[in-house]
Structure formats: C-alpha cells, structure tokens
Structure 1
Amino acid sequence: MIDFRYHLVSIVAIFLALAVGIVMGTTLLSSPAIESALETAQLLRKSNNDYREQLAALQAREQGNDSFVGAEMAAIVRGQLAGEKVLLVAAPGSSGTLREQTEQVLAEAGATISGQITLTEKFVEPNQANFIDQLTSGLTSLTLPGTDPYKNAAALLAATLVTADDAQAGTENSATVGVLDGFEKAGLLTVDGTPAKRATLALVFAPEGLLTDESAQEQNGALVSLAAGLDAGAQGSALTGTITSTQPGGLIAALRGTSDAAAKVSSVDTLDMPAGRAVVVFALREQLSGRSGQYGIGADAAEFQPAASAATPSPTTSGS
C-alpha cells in the first residue's frame, strides 16, 4: 500500500522539476541564444524582401521583353517563310490560344496555313492501335513503311497532308482521296480549313499537360511517330509547346529522348513567349535547309534559337 511519504516525495519532485524548468527557461531567454535567433529572423526577413524585389524586377524585365518582341514581331519574322504552306497539327490537350497566336506569327512571316487537323484522345489510346492499323490498311493501296500501326498511319497522313515537292504544294494527292474523311469518321481527328491541299511544312502543337499513367510512353510515342512521319513527307516539321512539355511525361521530352526523331524534327519549348513564337518561325525556316535543332529553355534544349536565325529569308517557292 502506498503511504503518505510516497505521495509527499512525488509532490516535492514535481515542484522541484517545475522550479528547475523555470530557472533554465529564464536563463535561456536572457542568454545570447535568443538574441542570435532574433538576428537570424531579421536576416531571413531581409533575404525574403530582397528575393521579392529581384523577382519583381525579373518579372518587369520579362514583361518588357515580351512587350517589345510582340510589338516588333512583324518586322522580326517578315519574309522568313515567304510563300510556304504550313499544316497545323493539334495534339489532344494543346492550347487553342497559343495556336491562334502562332498562326498570326506564321502569317506575318509570309506563310499560308493550309489547314489544321486536331487529333482526338482516341487517336493516342493504346487500345486503339489495332483499329488504327486496320483502318490505315483499308484506306489505301500505297506501300506502308512496316508493321507499326502509328508509323503506318503517320505515313498515310503525311502522303495526304504534306509534300516535299513545291510543284505539288496546294494540291490534293489523288492517291489518298478519302483518307481524311475516313480518319474523321472514325473519331480520330477533326479537320479545319483545307489540309488536304498539301503543305510544305508541318507544325505539331504539344499537349499542355503531362502524361503520368502506364501508357504515357505509348501515347507520346504515337505523336512522335506522327511528327516524324510528317517530316519525312514534307520539307520539314517542328514540334512546339511550353517548358512543361520538356518534363518527364511531356511530348517534347519524348521527342528529344528519341534520337532518330530528334535528329530530324525540330522542337521549341517556349511557345508561350513572343520570342518563342519567333523561334518557331526560325526553326521551320531552318528545316527548309535540311537542318534541325532542339530550342528553348527546357531540358535537352541545345540553345534558345537557331544559330542562323538572322539569315536571309527563304525565297518564295514556285508552287505558291
């Protein structure tokens, strides 16, 4: 049985511990430790204020650069794509606003938009590969490159939408009549303008978001195959989007990670910047000379713009 003395000792111990705590706390509060903590807090506040001022200055600088480039865009790109016909390809989830802004810059560069195809989610769904293979085979008697459904579909669409021959630009391919209609009725894409009147260049717009599920590689692979197929059938092609697309799961990252495609198809990851839209023009013009590059500020970009971006504008083609 616990007696009174045990309780008394426990109570004394509690009060003793409390007294020691008070003494230690008072000693610490009056020691240099608190002064050091206050000094550190002041330094952190000053650093935060400095960073805010630096960020505000950088934002103002960027806004000024964007304003200047936007105002001078017509002069910057004038004549760079004179007489060229450009096909626009919108991947699922790409930005309509950025496409419209880019279309205006292409027009200022002297290009004509042949039309636009907008791919649906169904086009990139892995479980649609066999369906796309059967559809592609059934729509043409042309010799297809192999057994990969998306490479075959890309080759057929390229034959329908683009040409490397200036003399055939703006005309339809008699061997691919019904191809666009077949893909559209199958729910794989929609058509705006007259993309069947073949273009000499193709510009693919990447999705704004990232793919994170297990089928990401297959879906991005389907779009990379299309960009590469269009490049093979045209005088050149480019893929464009924002820096987000250079992160894992992004379409630009998938292209830049595919050595064969990246050696032929250019990419620009600054589409949301006025300067980036000018770089798209320069990248397409560079494609006309048989060269390609990866441009922007994201992962695996070689430089911000083509080295020859100030070169002589391309001449008007005979097929225009």
Structure 2
Amino acid sequence: MIDFRYHLVSIVAIFLALSVGIVLGTSFLEDPAIKATEIFANQLRVSNEEYRDQLEAVQKREAANDAFVTDAAPRLVQNALATESVAIVEAPGVTNAVREGVQDLLVKAGATVTGRVVLDESYVDAAQAALIEKLADDAKPADMTFPADATPYRKVATALADAIVTDDPAQIGKENPVAAGVLDAFEAGGLLTVTGEPAKRAALAVLIAPAEPYTGEGAAQQANALVSMALGLDETGRGVVVAGGPSSATTGGVVAALRDDTAAAEKVSTVDNADKPMGRVVVVYALREQLSGATGQYGIGPGVSGVEPSASPAPTATSGG
C-alpha cells in the first residue's frame, strides 16, 4: 500500500514538474517568438509596399509610353498604306478598344477601310458546322469549286474572301458580280453582320482575334475556324494580318493556333499586342510588308519573329500602292 502511494505521489510529482517546466519555458520563449513574428510581418509589409511602388512605377511608364506612341502614331504610319484598301473581319469577342484603335490607325495610314464583317458566336460553334457548309455550298459562285477535302470552315472562308478581297488591282473597290449574294446569305443565316461596304473589294484584310482564348474541348476547332478564315483571305487578296492582344498568343488563342500551323505562318502575319498603340502601328507595318510578299509574326508572345518588321518594304508592282 505504501509502495502504491509512493508511486502515485511520484507520478503526480513528475507531471507537476512537467507542467511547471512548460509554463516556465513558454514564459521564456514567449517574447522572442512574438518579436520574431513581428519582425517577419514587418518585412513582408515593407516588401509588399516596395512591390506596389514598383508596379505603380511600371504602370506609369507604360501609360507614358502608350501616350507617346498614340501621339506619334499618325507620323509613324503616315502614307504607309496610301491608296490601299483594307477590309476588317472581326471575330466574336473583340473589344471596342482594339477594333476602333486598329481601324482608326488604318485610316491615318492612308488606307480606305471598305467595311467590317463581324462574325457571330455561332460562326465558331461546332454544332453549326453543317449549316455553315450548306450555306457555303449554296451561296458560292457557280464557277467556284472547293477541294474534296475542304472543311466547312475552309469552304466558307473561300466564299467570303471572294466577296470582300481581291488581288486584281483593276477590281479593287468593285463588287464581285458573281459573289453578290454571299454576304447576304450568311447574314440571313445569322452567322455574321456587315457594316460599311465590304463588298467593294479591298486588297488587304485584317482579322481581329477574340480578346480571350478559347477553352474546353472545342477550343482548337474554334481557333482553327478563324485560322481558315485568315488563309482564305490571304489566298484571295494581297495580304492579311491577324491582330489580337497577348491572350491571343496563348493556348486556345487564334494567333497561337496560326503560329503553330507552319504552312499558315508562312503566309499570314500576326501581331499579338494590338491592344496597345505600339501593336497597332505594327499592324500597319505588317500589312505593308504583306504587300511586298513577306510575312512575319510580331509582338511579345511565343513564336514571334520580332517586335516589328525589320524595315517598311515597298509594295510590289501588283499592289495598289
């Protein structure tokens, strides 16, 4: 009985000693731990303030650069596209800022913008592919034939391009009499709308990419539908540039899809920073380069050949310039 009590007292004494030790240890460690935490928190606060200041400085510099280029743009592109004509094809999801910025600078470069063909969301909807193919087959000129392996989007691109662009200087500014009903047919089908007079054919075209990349299982097909449009415009006219913002050069973006297609990238130029004044200037330069028979991928994203064309080449003799 005495042994049991002795052991019980010993156990109680041990736990009591541990408790006292924990209390004493916590008391000794409390101040250093708090101080260390306070120092770390203060360092984080200082770092965050520095990062915020750096970000604000970068944003101010970028705004100043944009303002400078905006002011200088008319001089930078003066007469670059004098006597040329350009049709604008607008993908679904284009922002007003990019559309208006590109069109405004084309005019300041001396170009005549014949009009805009604005594609509807349904145009890139895979569920509408059968309708698109039927419209292309029904609306195309009688003498137009499609390759046996042509996709619905390649067919419609060929038919639409034939209605709005031409590589024949004698036909620029004139409607294609055999393609008169193409735009009307697709507009009636709810696949596009028309502003201006794009049927008065232009030599050049700008395809404006969506502000955001496509996502999901159908992303590649949607992006490639617009790549097909760019190729159709290139084959029928004197040149085409696909213009978009940085997102267009990422996975699911139209610019990225075109750059990944080696054959397309050898024919069609792209600009992936057309959301900025500098990029819109490059769109003009890239169109000028297309007239000379050269192609390039420009901007800040993956797959670029440079920020801008190495020089502003003179158009070839077959150009309207």
Pairs within 5 Å for 1:141-152? 141=142, 142-146=144-148, 147-152=150-155
For residues 288 and 43 of structure 1, what CA distance do their matches in structure 2 show?
Answer: 57
Give the fraction of aligned pairs with identical amino acids, expressed as a percent. Answer: 43
Inter-partner Cα distance in structure 2 for 1:44 and 1:262? 46
**Aligned counterpart for 2:246 among listed residues 243, 268, 278:** 243
> How far 1:12 moved relative to its partner?
6.3
The answer for the alignment partner of 1:69 in structure 2 is 69
Letter aligned with residue 24 of structure 2: V
Distance 2:48 2:54 in 1: 10
Deviations 1:206-230 (A, max 9, x none): 1112221211111111111001110
The 2-side partners of 1:226 and 1:93 are apart by 16
Displacement of 1:143: 1.4
- How many angstroms does 1:9 deviate by? 8.3
Cα distance change, pair 43–86 in 1 and its aligned pair in 2 (3 A): same
The amino acid that maps onto 1:243 is P
CA offsets per residue over residues 97-139 of structure 1, 9 Å max, x none? 3211211111000000011000011111112112211211111
CA shift, 1:50, in A, is 2.6
Q: 1:163: how far off?
A: 0.5
CA contact (8 A) 2:132 2:156 kept: yes
Counterpart in the other structure of 2:224 = 221
> 1:123 and 1:7, CA in 2 relative to 1: closer, same or farther beyond 3 A?
farther
- TM-score between both structures, scaled by the size of structure 2: 0.89
- Give yes or no for contact 2:291–2:316 (8 Å, CA) kept in 1: no
1:126 aligns with 2:129: no
The yes-or-no answer on 1:188 pairing with 2:173 is no
State the partner residue of 1:80.
Answer: 80
- The CA RMSD over aligned residues, in Å, is 2.7
Structure 2 equivalent of residue 20 of structure 1: 21
User: 1:132-281, aligned counterparts within 5 Å?
Assistant: 132-140=132-140, 141=142, 142-146=144-148, 147-281=150-284
Deviations 1:266-288 (A, max 9, x none): 11111121111101111111111
Which deviations, in whole Å up to 9, do the C-alpha atoms of 1:149-185 show, x marking residues without a partner? 1111111111111011111100111221211111111
**8 Å Cα contact 2:167-2:238 kept in structure 1:** yes
Contact 1:256 1:294 in 2 (8 A): yes
**2:54 corresponding residue in structure 1:** 54
SS at match of 1:72: helix
Q: TM-score, normalised by structure 1?
A: 0.89
Show structure 1 runs of 5+ residues with no match: none
Task: Identify the structure with bigger relative contact order (alpha carbons < 8 Å, sequence gap 6+).
Answer: 1
Distance in 2, Cα, partners of 1:318 & 1:271: 25
Q: Is the 8 A contact 1:206 1:251 kept in 2?
A: yes
CA distance in structure 2 between the partners assigned to 1:256 and 1:297 by the alignment: 13
Residue 98 of structure 1 aligns with which residue? 98
Distance in 2, Cα, partners of 1:214 & 1:204: 24
CA–CA separation in structure 1 for the residues paired with 2:98 and 2:183: 25
Structure 2 stretches lacking a partner, 5+ long: none
Q: How does 1:264-303 map to 2 (within 5 A)?
A: 264-303=267-306
Distance 1:211 1:6 in 2: 75
Mapped to 1, the partners of 2:68 and 2:59 lie a distance apart of 14
